[in-house]
Structure 1
Amino acid sequence: AAYRRAHELPGWYEAFTGLTPRSVWRSLSAGELLPGPAAGLAEDLGSGPGIVKDFVKSRKDEWHEACFVPELKDVDRLAAVVGRFVELQGEFLAGGVVLRAYEPFVPGGEARVWWVDGEVARVTAHPDTPDRLPAPDLGAVGEAVRALDCRWVATDMALREDGAWRVVEVGDGQVSGLPAGDDGEALFRALLGPSAL
């Protein structure tokens, strides 16, 4: 239960409301189609661009085809992107379909913040941008992590164009990747606690 709470968006979203892009979702099994038009799911997000993903992953490498929707009110485009996303995920669709309001982030990569027992254990580069290490403002994020009540959590944070640091993803620490060249020793020491030093 703790793994899903930390790793799947519906499990962590409420604790991070206001710190992460607005999101809506519908549970869906692999191979299943949305029971109604994707536009119905998008209604609560209003107009503007959006992102399609499942409870864990997006298909950002197929940005225009299966991830980004320039206007959520464009029902044909939304249906095409959601349909292609579900098709490409196939048997690997995790939990269902999520629509998120798009927020523009500045170039420069993401930071991955590792939390142990609700406290920052380490800040690393994101595995996708191992050569860049932004310094996020953790502000209210610690409170959200503690509210989640999971022992080992990773939060991916990115700087929005207006200067606000945002939580892009939350993950269970045991399956979140480290950047290339990081052996994880410092992180594992934090998990073991002071007696391991």
Structure 2
Amino acid sequence: MLSAGRYAELSTALADRGHALLTSPERYRTAHKLPGWYDVFAPLTPHSAWLPLAPGGAVDPEELARLAERLGGAGPAVVKDWVKSRKHEWSEACYVPDLADTARLASVVARFVQLQGAYLTGGVVLRAYEPYRPVGEARVWWLDGEPALIGPHPDTPGLTPDPDLSEVASAVRQLACRFITTDLALHEDGRWRVVEAGDAQVSGLPRTTEAKPLFTALTTAAAR
């Protein structure tokens, strides 16, 4: 997964050789990092707040408490950076049962930052926890505002939900990034929610998913 800085270097190197990427460095950064896409998807994704932080940095517990207040100051939340979470270390570095427990919040964030190490991207993000039905997530690959492929999330390749894309499609077109993914989960109340968005060039495709429709759409777009 290329960082936004390395992607910009790749773009420059290709431009020096007379080639242009279909996704510009600016659009890559927009889709790759949560602060770039959050405002557009805000009605469709968990309420979030973030704090810039360099790798290895320390977060002031009082500053974290103020960040939690932006999410109401109470209730469950998850911790991530601007790109990734540590969901496989759920209890120690991802999930906060109650933001009002500021000591627990500080502990989870500190462990998250420690485990991310040099790969911490952007800073710390708090996202309100939402309960989803156990039907699996859908990963939708969007090309020029249209769904080019709908498949399972790589974490649950055996589950293939069929999401309603009507609201999501409008937000994707507003974001105006040529090639992105959205991971969708079904909320307990029946709404499809955007769990994550990202640049599709660095999004995983399950081995069990037929890739031909996606690559056919890409070669057609490149020809245009």
Whether TM exceeds 0.5 here: the answer is yes
- Give the CA deviation at 1:4: 1.2
- Give the CA deviation at 1:35: 4.6
Match of 2:175 in 1: 148
Deviates more, 1:173-182 or 1:147-156: 173-182
Match of 2:38 in 1: 13
Where do 4+ consecutive residues of structure 1 move more than 6 Å? none
Match of 1:67 in 2: 94
The number of equivalent residue pairs is 196
Deviations 1:5-53 (A, max 9, x none): 0011000000101100000001111111125531111111012100000
1:94 aligned onto 2:118 = no
Match of 2:48 in 1: 23
- Give the CA deviation at 1:184: 2.1
1:101-180 to structure 2, matched below 5 A, reads 101-180=128-207
Deviations 1:49-97 (A, max 9, x none): 0000000111111111010000011100100111111111111101110
Report which of the two structures shows the higher radius of gyration computed on alpha carbons.
2
| Alpha-carbon separation, structure 1, partners of 2:167 and 2:173 | 10
2:110 alignment partner, SS class: helix
CA contact (8 A) 2:61 2:102 kept: no
| Alpha-carbon separation, structure 2, partners of 1:91 and 1:124 | 32
Deviates more, 1:61-70 or 1:177-186: 177-186
1:44 aligned onto 2:70 = yes
Query: Aligned letter for 1:33?
Result: A
Match of 1:181 in 2: 208
Higher helix share: 2
Match of 2:107 in 1: 80
| Alpha-carbon separation, structure 1, partners of 2:192 and 2:115 | 31
- Give the CA deviation at 1:110: 0.2
After superposition, the Cα gap between the structure-2 partners of 1:195 and 1:173, relative to the gap in structure 1 and judged at 3 Å, is closer
1:55 aligned onto 2:65 = no
CA contact (8 A) 2:61 2:106 kept: no
| Alpha-carbon separation, structure 1, partners of 2:132 and 2:118 | 31
| Alpha-carbon separation, structure 1, partners of 2:69 and 2:184 | 26
Structure 1 unpaired stretches of 5+ = none
2:202 alignment partner, SS class: coil
RMSD: 1.4
